[in-house]
Chains A and B, each alone.
Chain A
Amino acid sequence: MLEKAIIGKKSISAGSLKWIRLNAFFLISAAFVQMLGNIGFINQYYIHILTVMGMNIILVASLNLLNGYLGEFALGHAGFMGIGAYSGALIAIYLGLPFFPRLFFSLAGAAIVSGVVAYIIGLITFKTVGDYLAVITLGFNMIIVNIIQNIDFVGGPRGLVGIPKSTNFFIVAVCLSFTYTVLRNLVYSNYGRLWISIRENLIASELMGVNIIRMKNLAFTIAASFAGLAGSLWAQYQQFINPKSFDYTKTTEILVMLYLGGTGSLSGSILGVVVYTITMEILRNLLEFNPRLVELRMVISPMILIVIMLTRQFGLMGKREWKWIQPEKEGN
């Protein structure tokens, strides 16, 4: 009995095996799509959309940990994406490593830097709750952008150029698979249950002995790390970053995709990003024949959001999950 507890389960459970197979299948198809794109069989435009979707899913799913599972209303996610983008870009530019170590260190470094900054910010942030927390996280987002704008070494408001291109669709897919594995295991672990208990009833879970501030800060740090990872991917995909692209407009976009898909649901994060991106692209293509109408898409997309919110209050998925994301129930 004790042995089993220390070593863990002797063989991989059926649920984990299914998850591993699923991820392997996803990565192989991603590699295949990337190859077809490289030889020009698939239009680069589609590859680009898939890549952007992948990065946005990482952002949205990580914010979901905070706004969905923990139930707080944090408004500063783009700030941590910015920290990750800048630290990842600096590592990639100045360390002078060959391709794979460069990619690894810039991604890992970005996640660590964002996580550490978030941990320190979280020590202050979680003294407050509710709308005050929203303001403080928003304030930190603005401060982060403002600080970056005032550092001349990274280009200030002009932005940082000359970042080597290391990200492609396949790399994003690998990071996405990693993110989802970590998030899914967290959400269905004891930590996830603690977060949900805080969301459902803070006072009751405090009475049960949950260290509220520590748990909240943990979620905040993890979410920010993944935002940093996505930022680093973004920087090395665009090869150019600019502080303005990490301000509250980006935060709002992430929020919209998150709530469109539904909070507290990892499937919802995927669905929200996919539906939002595809809708925007379809509207762009439909209205292409008249340049005046292309502008109309910016009016139609918020209308779609409002209609979805009026008809489905919890977003498209709202606390439900696709079956393949859920682990097998114990005893099955």
Chain B
Amino acid sequence: MEIIIQQLINAVQLGAVYALIALGYSMVYGIIRLINFAHGDIFMVGAFIGFLLAVKFKLPFVFILLLTMFLTALLGIAIERIAYHKLRNAHRMSLVITALGVGTFLENLVRLAVGPQTRQIPAQLSNNILHLTNGIVVTEDKLLIIGISIMLMIVLWLFVNKTLIGKAMRAVADNIDVVPLMGINVDMIVSVTFAIGSALAAAGGIFFGQSYSIEPYMGIDLGWKAFIAAVVGGIGSIEGAVVGSFILAGIEVFTVAYLSSNLKNGIAFALLIILLVIWPYGIMGKPSLKKV
């Protein structure tokens, strides 16, 4: 029982990182129907900006987090303006392939800049061990990471559901053609979406770097996984992205704990495929009705 709860905490921590990435995928998809394959690499860039700020400038953790989120948000806006903006009304697949190109570009640029070796972000948070009841132990940084992630998700939910810009975002997601007629600046909304998505991914990158080593190609693997989590939850839905991420992380962590770490990806994806066959539009997704 203790082991299960212990693994559950690990799963929640990994799930929080997946969720922070998956939210960006889901929001961008919701707004402009683009699978932003560069998103995993934006997450990676965020982790490396955090690494540089921590190693070169030795800033305190809060500043690292905020500054990284800000800089990565600017990167997200720049990518959208330069690479995606012109293709918004183009064929969907040319947008997707551009996103793949941007992703490869970011990976190789970072590799050129910092080299291919893996690195560790120096620990910023105390890793004092806390003893909970029944012999369950948890480190403080884990709790903090989980706490901040959940806080970010709540802030995002409030932003999307309670503010005027959030309302405009939902309107754009609903019908991008009608929204300009209502006097909403679509370009601005798309930029805001990319900024938020990238900032969340950057936070995910820093949290990931607290527990795992980082390298320029890590965005591919985590990006695909977060994408799958977003789709399983129902792409375009914020709640769905979070639910999908925790399910994926849970499956992965428990497969490693009870079966074999070699089977991790295989079993995770097999279960996800089964989920998608049961719920073809994702757990929280709305089936899109086709009109003839």
Q: Are B277 and A139 in contact (CB under 8 A)?
A: no
Chain B residues closer than 8 Å to A143, beta-carbon distance: 265-266, 269-270, 273
Q: Are B100 and A203 in contact (CB under 8 A)?
A: no
Across the interface, A313 reaches (CB within 8 A) one of B91, B102, B111, namely: B91
Q: Are A146 and B111 in contact (CB under 8 A)?
A: no
Interface 9-residue window, one of A38-46, A123-131, A162-170, A220-228 = A123-131
Interface 9-residue window, one of B1-9, B126-134, B143-151, B220-228 = B220-228
* Minimum CB–CB distance for A130 against chain B, Å: 9
Across the interface, B35 reaches (CB within 8 A) one of A131, A139, A157, namely: A131
Q: Are B270 and A128 in contact (CB under 8 A)?
A: no
- CA–CA, A150 and B101, complex, Å: 32
Bitwise interface map of A from 155 to 180 toward B, beta carbon under 8 Å scored 1, else 0:
00100000000000000000000000
Chain A residues closer than 8 Å to B232, beta-carbon distance: 135
Across the interface, B111 reaches (CB within 8 A) one of A128, A263, A295, A301, namely: A295
Interface size of A by CB at 8 A reads 46
| Given A135-B276, A138-B224, A139-B273; A256-B97 close (CB under 8 Å) | yes
Chain A residues closer than 8 Å to B220, beta-carbon distance: 248-249
Instruction: Please tell me if B155 contacts chain A, counting CB pairs below 8 Å.
Output: no
Scan residues 222-253 of chain B and give those whose CB is less than 8 A from a CB of chain A.
224, 227-228, 231-232, 235
| Given A135-B227, A135-B276, A142-B269; A203-B290 close (CB under 8 Å) | yes
Bitwise interface map of B from 259 to 292 toward A, beta carbon under 8 Å scored 1, else 0:
0101101100110110011001110000000101
Q: Are A309 and B101 in contact (CB under 8 A)?
A: yes
| Given A142-B269, A309-B98, A313-B94; A296-B112 close (CB under 8 Å) | yes
Q: Are A150 and B266 in contact (CB under 8 A)?
A: yes
Chain A residues closer than 8 Å to B266, beta-carbon distance: 142-143, 146-147, 150
Scan residues 130-149 of chain A and give those whose CB is less than 8 A from a CB of chain B.
131-132, 134-136, 138-140, 142-143, 145-147, 149
- CA–CA, A217 and B163, complex, Å: 46
Across the interface, B93 reaches (CB within 8 A) one of A142, A263, A303, namely: A263
- CA–CA, A322 and B94, complex, Å: 21
Bin the interface of chain B by size: 35 or more
Chain A residues closer than 8 Å to B277, beta-carbon distance: 124, 127-128
Instruction: Please tell me if A80 contacts chain B, counting CB pairs below 8 Å.
Output: no
Instruction: Please tell me if B138 contacts chain A, counting CB pairs below 8 Å.
Output: no
Chain A residue nearest in CB terms to B228:
A135
| Given A298-B108, A310-B87; A132-B276 close (CB under 8 Å) | yes
Instruction: Please tell me if A30 contacts chain B, counting CB pairs below 8 Å.
Output: no
Q: Are A259 and B97 in contact (CB under 8 A)?
A: yes
Chain B residues closer than 8 Å to A136, beta-carbon distance: 273, 276
- CA–CA, A299 and B35, complex, Å: 22
- CA–CA, A289 and B94, complex, Å: 35
Instruction: Please tell me if B105 contacts chain A, counting CB pairs below 8 Å.
Output: yes
Instruction: Please tell me if A111 contacts chain B, counting CB pairs below 8 Å.
Output: no
Q: Are B101 and A256 in contact (CB under 8 A)?
A: yes
Chain A residues closer than 8 Å to B260, beta-carbon distance: 150
Q: Are B270 and A314 in contact (CB under 8 A)?
A: no
Count of chain A to chain B residue pairs whose CB atoms are closer than 8 Å in the complex: 126
- CA–CA, A165 and B100, complex, Å: 34
Bitwise interface map of B from 63 to 94 toward A, beta carbon under 8 Å scored 1, else 0:
00000000000000000000100110011011
Q: Are A150 and B93 in contact (CB under 8 A)?
A: no
- CA–CA, A245 and B53, complex, Å: 35
Q: Are B104 and A309 in contact (CB under 8 A)?
A: no
* Minimum CB–CB distance for A267 against chain B, Å: 18
Instruction: Please tell me if A302 contacts chain B, counting CB pairs below 8 Å.
Output: yes
Q: Are B265 and A146 in contact (CB under 8 A)?
A: yes
Chain A residue nearest in CB terms to B271:
A139
Instruction: Please tell me if A285 contacts chain B, counting CB pairs below 8 Å.
Output: no
Q: Are A132 and B35 in contact (CB under 8 A)?
A: no
Q: Are B100 and A255 in contact (CB under 8 A)?
A: yes
Q: Are A73 and B93 in contact (CB under 8 A)?
A: yes
Q: Are B93 and A259 in contact (CB under 8 A)?
A: yes
Interface core residue of A142, A263, A305, A315 (most chain B CB under 10 Å): A142
- CA–CA, A263 and B97, complex, Å: 12
Q: Are B265 and A310 in contact (CB under 8 A)?
A: no
Across the interface, A140 reaches (CB within 8 A) one of B97, B111, B112, B273, namely: B273
Instruction: Report 15 cross-chain contacts, Cβ distance below 8 Å, ordered by A residue.
Output: A128-B276, A142-B269, A143-B265, A147-B266, A150-B262, A252-B104, A256-B101, A299-B108, A299-B109, A302-B101, A302-B103, A303-B105, A306-B105, A309-B98, A313-B94
The 6 closest A-B pairs by CB, nearest first: A146-B266, A298-B108, A259-B97, A139-B269, A305-B101, A302-B105
Residues of chain B whose beta carbon lies under 8 Å from any beta carbon of chain A: 29, 35, 83, 86-87, 90-91, 93-94, 96-98, 100-105, 108-109, 111-112, 220, 224, 227-228, 231-232, 235, 260, 262-263, 265-266, 269-270, 272-273, 276-277, 280-282, 290, 292
* 19 other A-B residue contacts (CB within 8 Å) besides A128-B277, A142-B265, A256-B97: A135-B231, A136-B276, A138-B228, A139-B269, A142-B224, A143-B270, A143-B273, A146-B263, A146-B266, A256-B104, A259-B97, A299-B108, A299-B109, A302-B102, A302-B103, A305-B100, A310-B86, A313-B91, A314-B94
Residues of chain A whose beta carbon lies under 8 Å from any beta carbon of chain B: 67, 73, 124, 127-128, 131-132, 134-136, 138-140, 142-143, 145-147, 149-150, 157, 202-204, 248-249, 252, 255-256, 259-260, 263, 295-296, 298-299, 301-303, 305-306, 309-310, 313-315
